[in-house]
Amino acid sequence: MATPRAIFWFRRDLRLADNPALLAAAQRGDGDVTALFIVDDTFARPAGTTRVEFLRRTLDSLDVSLGGRLNVLVGDPVEVLTRVARDVGARLVVATDDFGPRGRQRDRRVQEVLANRGISVEFVDSPYAVKPGTILSKSGTPYQVFSAFRRSWELEATTAPLTSPSAVSWRATESVTLDELSSRAASSRPAYFGDLPDAKAAVTIEAGEPAAQRQLTRFASSVDDYQGSRDFPGVEGTSHLSAYLRFGSLHPRQVLWELSGDAEGRRTFRAEIGWREFYADVMLHRPDSAYRVMQKSLEHLRVDDDARAVERFAVWAKGETGFPLVDAGMRQLLSEGWMHNRVRMVCASFLVKHLHLDWRWGARWFMWRLVDADLASNQHGWQWTAGTGTDAAPFERIFNPTLQAQRFDPRGEYVRRYVPELATVPVPDCLLPGGGAGLLSASYASPMLDALAERREALARFAQARDLARIRS
C-alpha cells in the first residue's frame, strides 16, 4: 500500500494554529505534509504593490514557522498541484474552503480535473467563524438584513480554537523565492487610474502569525474601551486585526474566543466581526453583488465618467481635495495601505455623493491600495456607503466631510498627522475646507468643490434615478 502523503494548499489561512484543514492534512497524510502556496496571477491582478509586499512578509513568517519548508510556486493551481502531487507521491490535497466568487469557480475546476487524474481535493472549514451559507431564516432563505443575521450568527459564532498540528514532517520540494511575488503586483490597471503611481506604502502592521497573536493580546487589554473610541481615527481605538483576518494569520474563531464577554465594548466588537461574516454570506448568495448595484432604485443613478471625472478621481485618490478629513484618509491609504473605518466611510461618500463618480471606481482603488482588501467587505462597504447595498445607509444620508472632521477628530490629531500642510494649523481651522484658508495653511489645497451645491446635485440625481426606476418597473 502506498504511504499516505498529503499536500496542504495554503490560501487565506496563513497560520498553523487553529487551522482545521491543516490538522486534517496532517492526520490524513500520516504526518507527511507538503505545504504549498501557489501564486496565481488571476488573483494577484487587482492587488497593488503594498498588499503583495504584506503577503510576501506573511509568507516569509509562515516559512520560518515551517522550518523553511514552505514551497511557493507560480502558475495555474491545476498544473502546479498535479505536478507536485506526482513529484512527492501524494494522492490527496487539502485546503480551507474559499467562499469568494472566483475562488469557488477555481476550486470546482481544480477538484474536477484532479479527480480525473486520481488526486482527491478536499475543502475543510472556512475563513469565517460560521461557514457562509449556513445561517438561514426560519423559512430557509438567506438574511437580507444584518440585525436578523447577527442574532442567529451569534448563537453559533464562538467556539474554542484548536491547537497547531504536532509531529509533522514538512516536505520540501521545488520553490521560487518570495521576491518573485513582487513582480506580480498590479498587472491590470483600469483606465481611470490614469498615471497614478503604485508606490509601496510603509506598512505599519507587522506581518505573520506571531505578530497577529501579539496584536490580539494587545487589543484584548483595551477592548472594553472599544465602544467609546472606535470612531475616532486620531486615537488607537480599533483592533488593527483586519489584515491578519484577510490573510488568515488569525482566524475569527480565535479572536471571538479571546474577546468573549458581555461588556458593551466586547459586544460591539463582535458585531463588527459579524459584519464581515454577513458580507461574505451575502456575496456567496449573490456573487454578482461584487460589481452590481443591489438596490433597483439606484441602478440608473447618473454618474460622471468623462475626462474631467478622471481628473477629479485622481485628486481624490491623491488626497488633494482640500477637505482635511478626506485628504487625511486618502493619504493614510497611500502611505500605510490602511485607513480607519470612519474615514473609509467619509472618503467613499465623498467620491459617490460629492464627486458623482461610480462607487466601483473607488472600490477598485481601495482594493488596489489596502493591505486588508477583501472583496466582500470592500465592495459591500462601498455599497453600504453608496446606498446601493443590502441593508445599506439610505442614499440621502450624505456625510458632511467638515462636520465629520469636527465630530470625530475634534482635536485635529488625525488630519494633522496625515496632511503635513496642516501640521501647524490649530483647531478649528485645520478641520475646515482649505484648512481655514489662513496664512498657516497657505500650502494646503483649496477645496475642489462646494460641498453644499454638490449635495444638492446628488439629491437631484437620486430623485431622477428613483423616478426612472418607477417608470421602468
Chain positions 29 to 68 lying near ligand FAD, rule: CB under 6 A, are none
Question: How many residues of this chain bind ligand FAD (CB under 6 A)?
Answer: 27
Which of 336, 374, 391, 421 lies at the binding interface for ligand FAD (CB under 6 A)? Answer: 374
Angle between helices 264-285 and 146-157 (to 10 degrees): 110
Q: Does residue 276 bind ligand FAD (CB under 6 A)?
A: yes
Which of 10, 99, 368, 382 lies at the binding interface for ligand FAD (CB under 6 A)? Answer: 382
Chain positions 335 to 354 lying near ligand FAD, rule: CB under 6 A, are 341, 344-345, 348
Strands 169-170 and 120-124: unpaired
Least distance (Å) between residue 250 CB and ligand FAD? 9
The three-point CA angle 37-39-40 to 5° equals 125
3-class DSSP state for residue 38? strand
CB 357 within 8 A of CB 313: yes
Least distance (Å) between residue 32 CB and ligand FAD? 35
Contacting range for ligand FAD; rule: CB under 6 A; set: 92-100, 155-163, 195-203, 242-250: 242-250
**Alpha-carbon gap, residue 454 to 459, rounded angstroms:** 9
CB 313 within 8 A of CB 361: yes
Q: Does residue 377 bind ligand FAD (CB under 6 A)?
A: yes
Least distance (Å) between residue 351 CB and ligand FAD? 9
Which of 370, 415, 419, 458 lies at the binding interface for ligand FAD (CB under 6 A)? Answer: 370
Least distance (Å) between residue 276 CB and ligand FAD? 4
CB 208 within 8 A of CB 62: yes
The three-point CA angle 17-276-147 to 5° equals 130
CB 6 within 8 A of CB 29: yes
Give the list of residues 6+ apart from residue 139 with CB closer than 8 angstroms, or none.
none
Which of 82, 96, 239, 321 lies at the binding interface for ligand FAD (CB under 6 A)? Answer: 239
**Alpha-carbon gap, residue 411 to 361, rounded angstroms:** 32
Q: Does residue 242 bind ligand FAD (CB under 6 A)?
A: yes
**Alpha-carbon gap, residue 14 to 249, rounded angstroms:** 5
Q: Does residue 317 bind ligand FAD (CB under 6 A)?
A: no
**Nearer Cβ to ligand FAD (80/386):** 386
Q: Does residue 85 bind ligand FAD (CB under 6 A)?
A: no
**Nearer Cβ to ligand FAD (5/360):** 360
Q: Does residue 331 bind ligand FAD (CB under 6 A)?
A: no
**Alpha-carbon gap, residue 374 to 385, rounded angstroms:** 16
Contacting range for ligand FAD; rule: CB under 6 A; set: 155-163, 268-276, 390-398, 463-471: 268-276
Least distance (Å) between residue 86 CB and ligand FAD? 37
C-alpha cell at 306: 468623462
Question: Is the N-terminal amide bond of 428 cis, ω within 30° of 0?
Answer: yes
Least distance (Å) between residue 93 CB and ligand FAD? 28
Give the list of residues 6+ apart from residue 147 with CB closer than 8 angstroms, or none.
none
Report the phi/psi class of residue 232: left, alpha or beta, with left for phi > 0 and alpha for psi in -120 to 50.
Answer: beta
Contacting range for ligand FAD; rule: CB under 6 A; set: 106-114, 240-248, 313-321, 459-467: 240-248
3-class DSSP state for residue 279? helix
Least distance (Å) between residue 376 CB and ligand FAD? 8
Least distance (Å) between residue 405 CB and ligand FAD? 17
**Nearer Cβ to ligand FAD (374/421):** 374
Write the DSSP symbol of residue 283: H
Q: Does residue 279 bind ligand FAD (CB under 6 A)?
A: yes
Contacting range for ligand FAD; rule: CB under 6 A; set: 141-149, 195-203, 235-243, 447-455: 235-243
What's the Rg (C-alpha) of the chain?
23
Cα distances (Å, whole numbers) of residue 114 to 110, 111, 213: 6, 5, 36
Q: Does residue 385 bind ligand FAD (CB under 6 A)?
A: yes
The 154-193 contact track toward ligand FAD, x by CB under 6 A, reads: ----------------------------------------
**Nearer Cβ to ligand FAD (275/323):** 275
What DSSP string runs through 45-82? TT--HHHHHHHHHHHHHHHHHTTT-EEEEES-HHHHHH
The CB-nearest residue to ligand FAD is 381
Binding region for ligand FAD (CB under 6 A): 230, 238-242, 245-246, 272-273, 275-276, 279, 341, 344-345, 348, 366, 370, 372-374, 377-378, 381-382, 385
